[in-house]
């Protein structure tokens, strides 16, 4: 029966690649209405509460009891006596040609469940795609986290392999799960907590040892990327769009462009500024960071130039060229982004522990909190003032 | 910055020498050379330092033809692979991936110069192999003051900048701080092992008081504990040591961290579209060859002997200022004025901008 073995997984995880084969054409009808109802509840939870309850069922892959005649359809030669997951990319040719069968009633129910689940998922993504980046980010982060929680509670045996194949994560099982360092870094470079720093891990022959929970944390990052992608519009999902509009209305619009208050700058930028003023030699990476930061707040090239004037090696022509380059007025015309906190740390330009991810995030918070609150760094380590 | 040769005879001599080199030399071609961007500073452009970029070649014959005809003072290729390597902007080029590059520069090391740079690059190579499982690696002497490693394994070419920076943090141990229990991760275990050995050495040499400010009683107690729990300590668990010693462990930690960290140049590794010197080409500031090395051959490699690209036919030069250097196992001390020198020393001095060709 077509797609039978993977159906239970698709019902719980409709973002898996094989779903698209089942979804088919989107028509108004009972499945549509049902999916819309599910999507409404879930989207509201995701945006308002940042979390949706997803309850996976325990499921097993029927393939273990089967001789797997489908192997001849596998383009990656991933099916032998067993399944070679590291070769599989879930292209679904094997599932499409599945000859295993169960009672037609149960099959139909499975299939229907998958269609509802996949449709709900597509509807939500389509709805948030029509709005701001912030809403889509909120949706993507919340849904990815909710799925991670679901996976953690899901004891289904082949779940890690299926996720790894779907997202191209290189892994193999030992006592825990060994993930290739490149797959690990793609996720860990965006996770701030120290235990994800590579030196806190056992790294041998290119593989990092992880627990199952940690493995799902990596999957979560892939999910977040996937859910952040825009999707074309589907007709008939107005109720979902209304949910997003309501959410956006509540969110205060936090603009910082044009707000210029050096006293609210993050410690790293203050430090670079004060170094420049006192003619200390400032590294290239630090100059770049400050320039991109100031440009983001709406400072002009000439204003920024003034700040570099006291630098010991100041050369007006060169400095102007570089500032204009960063502003995207030169070269390839690409405007550069402000380096994140982790980049600042790597280049030794970070001088305090502010508990933010990005210098602009610090500034935005300070501006909107009227200069106090959470984003204030621990002043003892704030070298800019000492 | 640009060396300034004003003298046209010197310039034509250099063009001739570099061109000769490229007609006979074996350059070490990067893999997928036709997906790389190439860039050159030609000898011809002296005294200006003009880089011609966005060049692409289909094969070695094309590349060699170009370099013999326009001998480069500096020759580079991109670490990145592109759809259209000769397109003028990054967007049009179409980034497909990039080798992972490491640069150790002798002048950025706290001490030790070129020979320390060599030790560091060997350690880096072994870490990349053992920890990261890198296999397709090239070690290259830069032709001047350092060494490079190019990791070309396919797994690593897709990494973006933030991910490459995590590798930098791993190698440089950025942000690693002392904890009483440091048993997760091999980098920490390496530090722990070094700390125990350093502590033992300090005690053995009777320096514990001087270096760590410990009293005799604490030292004796520490010694006993080390004897009974050496494996536990080496595995990164320092909790059993007496408090007075634990309070001082951060000193050993810092010392070991400094000793074990690898001093790579962070922006080079983080960059996904760097231009890097073509292995086998000449470095225009020294005339030395950027020598491709292996893990075996680097052990006996001596830059000032093995990277010398020119012969010892005698050449007349005018030395502009007093200069001392060692080349090809020969010590030179020259005063300003006319000298007859082996070709390799002559070209070296011209590239260093301290001599002109002819009398």
The pLDDT mean for chain A works out to: 87
Q: How far is B344 from B327, CA to CA, in rounded Å?
A: 8
The pLDDT score that the predictor gives to residue A332 is: 63
B133 neighbourhood in chain A, CB within 8 Å: 181, 204-207
The pLDDT score that the predictor gives to residue A384 is: 38
Catalytic residues of B: 103, 105, 265
CATH of the domain at A112: 1.20.930
B184 neighbourhood in chain A, CB within 8 Å: 195, 200-202
Residue A312, min C-alpha distance to chain B (Å): 18
The pLDDT score that the predictor gives to residue A375 is: 40
- Provide the domain limits for residue A173: 4-251
Q: Which of A280, A281, A267, A274 is nearest to A345 (CA)?
A: A267
For residue B175, give the nearest of A343, A345, A347 by CB distance: A345
Tell me, yes or no, whether A188 and A312 share the same domain.
Answer: no
- The answer to whether B53 faces chain A, any CB pair under 8 Å, is no
A205 neighbourhood in chain B, CB within 8 Å: 130-131, 133
The residue-averaged pLDDT of A72-94 equals: 88
For residue B1, how many C-alpha atoms fall within 13 Å in the half-sphere facing its CB? Answer: 1
Tell me, yes or no, whether A262 and A135 share the same domain.
Answer: no
The pLDDT score that the predictor gives to residue A251 is: 60
- In chain A, the number of structural domains is 2
Tell me, yes or no, whether A310 and A368 share the same domain.
Answer: yes
Most confident of A36-40, A189-193, A298-302, A308-312: A36-40
The pLDDT score that the predictor gives to residue A24 is: 79
Q: Which of B242, B217, B218 is nearest to B229 (CA)?
A: B242
Residue B97, min C-alpha distance to chain A (Å): 13
Q: How far is A162 from A88, CA to CA, in rounded Å?
A: 9
**Chain A residue closest to B174 (CA)?**
A346
**pLDDT of residue A311 exceeding 90:** no
The pLDDT score that the predictor gives to residue A380 is: 35
Q: How far is A166 from A17, CA to CA, in rounded Å?
A: 7
The residue-averaged pLDDT of A312-320 equals: 86
Tell me, yes or no, whether A201 and A298 share the same domain.
Answer: no
A190 neighbourhood in chain B, CB within 8 Å: 162
Pairwise CB contact (< 8 Å): A201 & B185: yes
**pLDDT of residue A371 exceeding 50:** no
Q: How far is B25 from B19, CA to CA, in rounded Å?
A: 10
**Chain B residue closest to A207 (CA)?**
B132
Tell me, yes or no, whether A14 and A52 share the same domain.
Answer: yes
Pairwise CB contact (< 8 Å): A207 & B186: no
Helix, strand, or coil here: B78? Answer: strand
Neighbours of B27 (CB within 10 A): 20
B187 neighbourhood in chain A, CB within 8 Å: 199
Tell me, yes or no, whether A229 and A344 share the same domain.
Answer: no
Tell me, yes or no, whether A221 and A160 share the same domain.
Answer: yes
pTM (predicted TM-score):
0.81
- Picking from A219, A251, A283, the residue at the C-terminal end of a domain is A251
Pairwise CB contact (< 8 Å): B165 & A343: yes
Tell me, yes or no, whether A265 and A332 share the same domain.
Answer: yes
- Least confident among A62-66, A111-115, A164-168, B286-290: A62-66
Higher pLDDT, A330 or B172: B172
- Picking from A216, A251, A286, the residue at the C-terminal end of a domain is A251
Q: Which tokens sit at A180?
A: 């290739």
- Picking from A251, A275, A296, the residue at the C-terminal end of a domain is A251
What's the ipTM?
0.90
User: Which residues 183-242 of chain B have a CB within 8 Å of chain A?
Assistant: 184-188
Percent of all residues in chain A with a pLDDT value above 70, rounded to a whole number: 92
How far out from the chain centre does Cα B310 lie? 23
The pLDDT score that the predictor gives to residue B329 is: 92
Q: Which of B61, B67, B62 is nearest to B22 (CA)?
A: B67
Tell me, yes or no, whether A229 and A266 share the same domain.
Answer: no
> Which own/partner contact pairs does A322-331 have at CB distance under 8 Å and 24+ positions apart?
A322/A287, A322/A291, A323/A291, A323/A295, A326/A288, A326/A291, A326/A292, A326/A295, A327/A295, A327/A301, A329/A301
The pLDDT score that the predictor gives to residue B348 is: 96
Pairwise CB contact (< 8 Å): B163 & A189: yes
Tell me, yes or no, whether A220 and A236 share the same domain.
Answer: yes
Per-residue tens of pLDDT for chain B, all 359 residues: 344 556 889 999 999 999 999 999 888 899 999 999 999 999 988 878 889 999 999 999 999 999 999 999 999 999 999 999 999 988 899 999 999 999 999 998 988 899 999 999 999 999 999 999 999 999 999 999 999 999 999 999 999 999 999 999 999 999 898 999 988 889 999 999 999 999 999 999 988 888 888 888 888 899 999 999 999 999 999 999 999 899 999 999 999 999 999 999 999 999 999 999 999 999 999 999 999 999 999 999 999 999 999 999 999 999 999 999 999 999 999 999 999 999 999 999 999 999 999 98
A interface with B, Cβ–Cβ < 8 A, is: 170, 180-182, 185-186, 188-190, 194-195, 197-207, 284-285, 332-334, 340, 342-343, 345-348
Tell me, yes or no, whether A288 and A221 share the same domain.
Answer: no
What is chain B's Cα-based Rg?
25
Tell me, yes or no, whether A193 and A54 share the same domain.
Answer: yes
Pairwise CB contact (< 8 Å): B159 & A200: no
């Amino acid at each position: 029966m077509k797609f039978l073995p993977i159906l239970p997984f698709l019902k719980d995880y409709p973002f898996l690649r094989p779903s698209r084969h089942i979804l088919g054409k989107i028509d108004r009808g009972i499945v549509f209405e049902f999916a819309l109802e599910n999507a409404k509840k879930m989207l509201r939870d995701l945006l308002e509460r940042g979390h949706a309850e997803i309850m996976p069922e325990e499921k097993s892959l029927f393939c273990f009891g089967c001789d797997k005649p489908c192997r001849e359809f596998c383009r990656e030669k991933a099916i032998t006596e067993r399944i070679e997951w590291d070769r599989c990319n879930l292209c679904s040719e094997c599932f499409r040609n599945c000859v295993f069968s169960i009672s037609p009633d149960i099959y139909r129910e499975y299939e229907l469940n998958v269609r509802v689940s996949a449709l709900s998922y597509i509807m939500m993504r389509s709805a948030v795609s029509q709005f701001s980046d912030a809403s889509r980010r909120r949706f993507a982060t919340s849904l990815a986290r909710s799925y991670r929680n679901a996976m953690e509670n899901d004891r289904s045996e082949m779940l890690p392999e299926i996720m790894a194949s779907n997202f191209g994560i290189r892994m193999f099982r030992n006592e825990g799960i060994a993930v290739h360092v490149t797959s690990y870094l793609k996720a860990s470079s965006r996770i701030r907590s120290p235990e994800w720093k590579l030196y806190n891990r056992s790294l041998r022959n290119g593989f990092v040892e992880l627990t199952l929970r940690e493995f799902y944390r990596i999957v979560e990052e892939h999910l977040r990327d996937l859910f952040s992608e825009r999707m074309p519009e589907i007709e008939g999902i107005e109720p979902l769009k209304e949910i997003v509009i309501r959410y956006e209305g509540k969110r205060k619009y936090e603009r910082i462009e044009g707000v210029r208050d050096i006293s609210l700058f993050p410690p790293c930028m203050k430090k670079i500024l004060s170094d420049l003023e006192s003619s200390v030699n400032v590294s290239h990476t630090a100059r770049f960071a400050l320039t991109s930061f100031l440009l983001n707040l709406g400072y002009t090239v000439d204003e920024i130039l003034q700040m570099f004037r006291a630098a010991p090696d100041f050369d007006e022509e060169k400095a102007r060229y570089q500032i204009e380059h960063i502003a995207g007025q030169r070269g390839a015309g690409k405007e550069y982004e402000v380096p994140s906190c982790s980049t600042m740390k790597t280049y030794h330009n970070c001088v305090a522990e502010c508990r933010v991810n990005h210098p602009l995030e610090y500034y935005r918070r300070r501006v909107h909190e009227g200069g106090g609150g959470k984003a204030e760094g621990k002043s003892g380590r704030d070298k800019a003032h000492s | 910055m640009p060396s300034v040769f004003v003298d046209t005879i010197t310039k034509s001599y250099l063009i001739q020498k570099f061109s000769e080199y490229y007609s006979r030399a074996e350059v070490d071609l990067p893999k997928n050379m036709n997906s790389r961007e190439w860039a050159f500073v030609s000898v011809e452009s002296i005294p200006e330092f003009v880089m011609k970029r966005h060049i692409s070649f289909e094969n070695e014959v094309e590349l060699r033809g170009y370099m013999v005809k326009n001998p480069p003072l500096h020759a580079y290729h991109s670490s990145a692979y592109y759809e259209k390597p000769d397109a003028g902007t990054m967007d049009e080029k179409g980034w497909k991936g990039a080798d992972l590059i490491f640069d150790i520069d002798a002048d950025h090391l706290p001490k030790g110069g070129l020979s320390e740079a060599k030790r560091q690059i060997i350690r880096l190579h072994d870490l990349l192999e053992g920890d990261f499982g890198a296999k397709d690696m090239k070690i290259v002497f830069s032709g001047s003051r350092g060494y490079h490693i190019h990791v070309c394994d396919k797994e690593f070419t897709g990494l973006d900048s933030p991910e490459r920076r995590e590798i930098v943090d791993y190698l440089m141990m950025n942000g690693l701080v002392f904890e009483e229990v440091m048993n997760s991760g091999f980098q920490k275990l390496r530090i722990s092992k070094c700390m125990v050995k350093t502590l033992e050495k300090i005690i053995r040499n009777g320096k514990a008081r001087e270096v760590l400010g410990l009293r005799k009683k604490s030292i004796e107690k520490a010694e006993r504990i080390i004897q009974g729990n050496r494996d536990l300590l080496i595995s990164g668990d320092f909790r059993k040591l007496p408090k007075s010693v634990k309070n001082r462990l951060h000193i050993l930690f810092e010392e070991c961290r400094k000793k074990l960290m690898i001093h790579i140049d962070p922006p080079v590794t983080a960059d996904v579209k760097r231009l890097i010197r073509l292995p086998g080409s000449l470095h225009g500031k020294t005339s030395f060859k950027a020598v491709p090395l292996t893990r075996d051959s680097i052990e006996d490699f001596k830059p000032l002997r093995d990277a010398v690209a020119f012969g010892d036919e005698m050449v007349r030069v005018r030395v502009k200022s007093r200069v001392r250097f060692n080349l090809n196992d020969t010590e030179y001390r020259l005063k300003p004025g006319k000298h007859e020198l082996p070709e390799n020393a002559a070209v070296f001095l011209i590239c260093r901008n301290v001599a002109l060709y002819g009398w």
